[in-house]
Structure 1
Amino acid sequence: MSHRFIELDAKTPAADMDAALALVEPLHRQLRPKIPAPYADYLKQMFAEDVRMSILLEGDVPKAVGVWRVRLTTYQGRRFYVDDLVTDENSRGSGHGGIMLSHLEAHAKALDSDYFTLDSGTHRTLAHRFYFRHGMTISSFSFQKALTSRFG
């Protein structure tokens, strides 16, 4: 089966954006069920803050999604950060996660990033094995303090 990518950012035409977000929402919610509704409105706010999205399609079916951003930092230089990397839970082990990870890393290199980073919940041990297999390491602890209950 052939794969292709849809790339979304703040410059994506509204009709294309709406169609792509409607297509990918069920997949994205497999990882992030608490994204506020309406989903498209929330994601559009993120795009306005320079977030981008890459969607891997197999035929016309979304199989993986990556939500990412690039920021210049004092501690890692140009940091390519992946907010979300989601593969369809019904087709895990089919290589879609690796295809998406390679695709995102290519974006990071093309954007002259110094680091490719993401956070993964401590309970997601299968995801951690996947990241280790793809050459990633644990470089720090991420500390947090909830200020609202919206995502808790």
Structure 2
Amino acid sequence: MSAEIRIAETDDEIAACFPVIHALRPHLSEPEFVPLIRRMEAGAYRLAYLAEHGRPVAVAGFRIGENLPWGRFMYVDDLVTDPAHRSRGHGRTMLSWLKRHAAEAGCGQLRLDSGVQRKDAHRFYEREGMEMVSLHFMMPIPGD
């Protein structure tokens, strides 16, 4: 499959990614999506997309970072293919692009978290050579 993956730079490109991201993140609202992405870009977040016929069918949100336990790494916040376009190799293409982009950025690792309920995603990641290496814990912080 020949596909071009691009970084969403314009508001229109970012907005076009919303329907795909919404499949993974249904709590997000469309009117707030572009402003949210713009705020996250200040923390190095980038949104990449694979388009078919001018429309995004797979989207990845990622950031390049560096820390003590991992060194320089790429963290993938979001990786999703439009449900109507799954099982066509788009996820594999996007993950391959992310690996190349991480290598070009000098990263030694590509990391992501996946919800424990996403068994199909876990099988995909393992088929693509990723290892399950940790558990991720969280604790809500009560607001006012």
Alignment match, 1:123: 117
Residue 93 (structure 1) shift = 0.5
Q: Which of 41, 50, 75 is matched with 2:44 structurally?
A: 50
Unaligned runs of 5+ in 1: none
Alignment match, 2:32: 38
Contact 1:2-1:59 at 8 Å conserved across structures: no
Residue 82 (structure 1) shift = 0.1
Residue 4 (structure 1) shift = 1.7
Residue 21 (structure 1) shift = 1.5
TM-score by length of 1: 0.88
Residue identity in the other structure for 2:11: D
Count how many residue pairs are aligned between Structure 1 and Structure 2: 142
Residue identity in the other structure for 1:29: H
Residue 6 (structure 1) shift = 2.1
Deviations 1:7-53 (A, max 9, x none): 13xxx4xxxx1110121111111101222541101111001211111
How far apart are the structure 1 equivalents of 2:7 and 2:86?
22
Alignment match, 2:21: 28
Partner-residue secondary structure (3-state), 2:133 = coil
Alignment match, 1:3: 3
Residue 106 (structure 1) shift = 0.5
TM-score by length of 2: 0.92
Alignment match, 2:59: 65
Residue identity in the other structure for 1:105: K
Identity over the aligned pairs, expressed in percent?
Answer: 37
How far apart are the structure 2 equivalents of 1:49 and 1:32?
19
Alignment match, 2:126: 132
Residue 93 (1) aligns with residue 92 (2):
no
The RMSD of aligned alpha carbons is 1.6
Deviates more, 1:139-148 or 1:118-127: 139-148
Q: Which of 104, 112, 134 is matched with 2:98 structurally?
A: 104
Runs of at least 4 residues of structure 1 off by over 3 A?
Answer: none
Contact 2:47-2:61 at 8 Å conserved across structures: yes
Unaligned runs of 5+ in 2: none
Residue identity in the other structure for 1:117: R
Residue 82 (1) aligns with residue 72 (2):
no
